[in-house]
Amino acid sequence: MLLSGKAHVFGDDINTDYIISGKYKFKTLDLAELARHVMEDLDPDFYRKITAGDFIVAGRNFGCGSSREQAPLAIKHAGISAVVAGSFARIFYRNAINTGLPVVECDTRAIEPGDELEVDLGAGILRNRTRGVEVGITPLPAVMLKILNDGGLAAHFRKHGGFSLD
Amino acid sequence: MGRSIIEKILSRKSGQEVQAGDIVVAKVDFAMGQDGTSPLAIQAFRAMGGEALFDPEKVALVIDHSAPSPSEGVSNLHKLMREFARETGCHLYDVGDGVCHQLMLESGAVGPGSLVVGADSHTCTYGALNAFATGVGSTDLAAALISGRMWFKVPPTLKFVCHGILPPGVYSKDLILFLIGQVTADGATYRSVEFGGEAIRALSMEARFTVSNMAVEMGAKAGLMEADERTAEWMAQYSRHTFEPVVPDPDAVYEQVLEFDVSRLEPQIARPHRVDNVAPLGEVAGLPVDEAVLGTCTNGRLEDLRIAAALVRGYRVSPNVRFIVAPASRSVYLQALRDGSLETLVQAGAAVVTPGCGPCVGTHNGVPADGERVISSANRNFKGRMGNSKAEIYLASPAAVAAAALTGEITDPREFLK
């Protein structure tokens, strides 16, 4: 899978309340509506700045906090192709894979806002085309790669009739 | 090679001897969802072709985060949950029953050695009962509802050993805030945590739940404790089932063991906008507060209400403060009514709201205004958490919340214990 787009850069410990506030997620399952409020408390105009295919780039512990699956879903429906971060909180990481949002763990410290990035999930490489550098990506565990390749956990269940992780 | 608590529970539930790093598919003893996560889980359940639950007796849906409903959107999602529960025969806890985690602890269905998944990050609370209980998302929950199973990567364990006895006026909330401040918000990510030592053993079950509840605030997958006579008393009071406690091997392999002497710990506080932005409470004493919140899955239990009631008895809440109290469950509410704690709190000026999550998640029951400062007994102080990104949230013990409600400013609760 080859993804490309520009970087929107955030800091460390971006929690799921920042990704999608509780005041919206309890009200609706309309993902287009939730997507309009993604990252709103950090940048009220964020949704309007996204071009389909762009990346959210962050530091350590992205997605900490609540278990709300609306977080990866809102990001995905806002047009973001993948989240690239130094590290992820574990529930968010699982939820992202389960809902088919690629998560890329690598050193993000040299990425600046607006950098043009290319992520090759198969080769495990992130290319920063603006800066002409490449960094290696921490590979997904085989189990998660299988779920992601099936299109998420719901699709995996439909395909195999349950967990088929061997 | 010796095994930690989580390695032993996952070995038992997967039918093979496993250790940190292994991937397992394990049997789930109980699965739970709340009103912020269940609607998506029901949607995922249908998308997966789900028709029946693996065992309706082992599934509960809880309407607690936004209850009673503040809007038509929320009402429609609650209705979806009620219809699903009727159709599948699972347990449904409705408006006024309480916070999902308190209800699970009181249900008797969860105990030592259990494996529980909950679509709420604070499911780790039941680790204090020696259960491996962890937060999952809605699609993972749906998979568990259908199959009664869940896949896990067996995590390594980080052990906290807390020596000494907490001094008067210092509570388990201060202890866990202190530990989170020490290791930071991602200090235990992908890891299981075990809490032990004299200070933990000396805590009541209710106080232990507060500690395990906040394990996820350091990123942990579980916050486990060993079972002892207090655990047995809790189970005898609430459950008819038998459980088999899990003891870590004496030569269990820990990634790290962190030891602290907490016998001189001072009241702690988490400052905006991070749970790990912890300092001794004295450093911010005197800051005015506009709202004081007592409740939530962290600190809304009977012991917490009693501590606050004892502190406010004979005083009046500051005219500058809204003091909001949300009992953690109907049972807690009734007991606090009977023993007079609620009467004392209401007489002092508290506003009691429906048992449930209260104003913690920003949907109802006390959204702060722009520029306001809240002191809360909850577990998260992220910007916007309580519904307004222009407000500040400080986290502290129930005693510190009650003290601030009286004085109108952040106050060391020990001043009221002299």
Q: Which residues of chain A have a CB within 8 Å of the CB of B51?
A: none
Determine whether the interchain pair B384/A91 forms a contact, defined as Cβ–Cβ distance below 8 Å: no
* Measured distance CA(A103)–CA(B362) in Å, rounded: 28
Determine whether the interchain pair A157/B137 forms a contact, defined as Cβ–Cβ distance below 8 Å: no
Mark out chain A residues that contact chain B at CB-CB < 8 A: 13, 15, 17-18, 21-23, 25-29, 41, 60-61, 64-70, 73, 87, 89-91, 94-95, 98-99, 141, 143, 152-154, 157-158, 162-163, 165
Determine whether the interchain pair B186/A65 forms a contact, defined as Cβ–Cβ distance below 8 Å: no
Question: Which position has the token pair 């009286």?
Answer: B406
* Measured distance CA(B218)–CA(B193) in Å, rounded: 10
Which residue from B minimizes the CA distance to A164? Answer: B25
Q: Which residues of chain A have pLDDT under 50?
A: none
Determine whether the interchain pair B189/A65 forms a contact, defined as Cβ–Cβ distance below 8 Å: no
Determine whether the interchain pair B140/A89 forms a contact, defined as Cβ–Cβ distance below 8 Å: no
Quick check: A136 and B123 in contact, CB under 8 A?
no
Name the residue type at position B337: L
Query: What's the pLDDT at A74?
Result: 97
Task: Identify the bridge partners of residue B259 per DSSP, sorted by sequence position.
Answer: B161
Burial class (CB in 10 A: 0-12, 13-18, 19+), B376: buried
Helix (H, G, I), strand (E, B) or coil at A19: helix
What's the gap in Å between the CA of A139 and the closest CA on chain B?
Answer: 15
Name the residue type at position B345: L
CA neighbours closer than 13 Å in the CB half-sphere of residue B266:
11
Identify the CA nearest to A64 among candidates B272, B221, B102, B377.
Answer: B221
Q: How far lies B300's CA from each of B99, B222, B332, in Å? A: 9, 21, 8
Structure tokens at B408: 């109108």
Determine whether the interchain pair B47/A154 forms a contact, defined as Cβ–Cβ distance below 8 Å: yes
Q: Which residues of chain A have a CB within 8 Å of the CB of B65?
A: 22, 26
Query: What's the pLDDT at B253?
Result: 96
What's the gap in Å between the CA of B146 and the closest CA on chain A?
Answer: 8
Q: How far lies B249's CA from each of A59, B1, B13, B361, B378, in Å? A: 37, 9, 17, 39, 34
Identify the CA nearest to B121 among candidates A117, A41, A92, A79.
Answer: A92
Q: What is the mean predicted confidence (pLDDT) over B85-107?
A: 98
Quick check: B105 and B209 in contact, CB under 8 A?
yes
Query: What's the pLDDT at A23?
Result: 85
Determine whether the interchain pair B363/A23 forms a contact, defined as Cβ–Cβ distance below 8 Å: yes
Question: Which position has the token pair 């009514």?
Answer: B337
Q: Go through the domains of chain B in sequence order and give each one's CATH number.
A: 5-260 (3.30.499.10), 269-416 (3.30.499.10)
CA neighbours closer than 13 Å in the CB half-sphere of residue B352:
22
Query: Which candidate from B43, B136, B186 shows the least CB-CB separation from A87?
Result: B186
Q: Read off the pLDDT band of B52 (50, 70, 90).
A: very high
Tell me the per-residue pLDDT of B160-187, one tens digit each, with 9 for 90 and over: 999 999 999 999 999 999 999 999 999 9
Q: What is the 3-state secondary structure (H, E, C) of chain B?
A: CECCHHHHHHHHHHCCCCCCCCEEEEECCEEEEECCCHHHHHHHHHHCCCCCCCCHHHEEEECCCCCCCCCHHHHHHHHHHHHHHHHHCCEEECCCCECHHHHHHHHCCCCCCCEEEEECHHHHHHHHHCCEEEECCHHHHHHHHHHCEEEEECCCEEEEEEECCCCCCCCHHHHHHHHHHHHCCCCCCCCEEEEECHHHHCCCHHHHHHHHHHHHHHCCCEEECCCCHHHHHHHHHHCCCCCCCCCCCCCECCCEEEEEECCCCCCEEECCCCCCCEEEHHHHCCCECCEEEEEHHHHCCHHHHHHHHHHHCCCCCCCCCEEEEECCEHHHHHHHHHCCHHHHHHHHCCEECCCCCHHHHCCCCCCCCCCCEEEECCCCCCCCCCCCCCCEEEECCHHHHHHHHHHCECCCHHHHCC
Which residue from A minimizes the CA distance to B145? Answer: A162
| Mean of per-residue pLDDT scores for chain B | 97
Structure tokens at B237: 């009071």
Q: Is the pLDDT of residue B38 over 80?
A: yes
User: Which ipTM score applies to this complex?
Assistant: 0.96
What's the gap in Å between the CA of B344 and the closest CA on chain A?
Answer: 32
Q: What is the mean predicted confidence (pLDDT) over B306-315?
A: 98
Query: What's the pLDDT at B389?
Result: 94
Q: Which residues of chain B have a CB within 8 Å of the CB of A60?
A: 186
Element (H, E) at A109: none
Residue-range domain boundaries for chain A: 2-160
Helices (H), chain A: 16-19, 22-25, 31-35, 46-49, 70-77, 90-98, 142-149, 153-160
Give me the percent of chain B exceeding a pLDDT of 90: 99
Superfamily of the domain at A2-160: Aconitase, domain 4 (3.20.19.10)
B228: left (phi over 0), alpha (psi -120 to 50) or beta: beta
Q: What is the mean predicted confidence (pLDDT) over B117-132?
A: 98
Q: What is the mean predicted confidence (pLDDT) over B275-298?
A: 98
Name the residue type at position B184: T
Structure tokens at B395: 């986290």
Tell me the per-residue pLDDT of B183-232, one tens digit each, with 9 for 90 and over: 999 999 999 999 999 999 999 999 999 999 999 999 999 999 999 999 99
Query: What's the pLDDT at B418?
Result: 77
Higher pLDDT, B414 or A1: B414
What's the gap in Å between the CA of B274 and the closest CA on chain A?
Answer: 9
Q: Which residues of chain B have a CB within 8 Å of the CB of A31?
A: none
Which residue from B minimizes the CA distance to A153? Answer: B139
Name the residue type at position A57: V
Determine whether the interchain pair A98/B66 forms a contact, defined as Cβ–Cβ distance below 8 Å: no
Identify the CA nearest to B326 among candidates B171, B123, B74, B98.
Answer: B98
* Measured distance CA(A127)–CA(A4) in Å, rounded: 9
What's the gap in Å between the CA of A104 and the closest CA on chain B?
Answer: 16
Q: Which residues of chain A have a CB within 8 Å of the CB of B25?
A: 163, 165
* Measured distance CA(B48)–CA(A112) in Å, rounded: 40
* Rounded CA Rg of chain A: 15
CA angle B278–B281–B285, rounded 5-degree value: 130
Query: Which candidate from A15, A99, A143 shows the least CB-CB separation from B139?
Result: A99
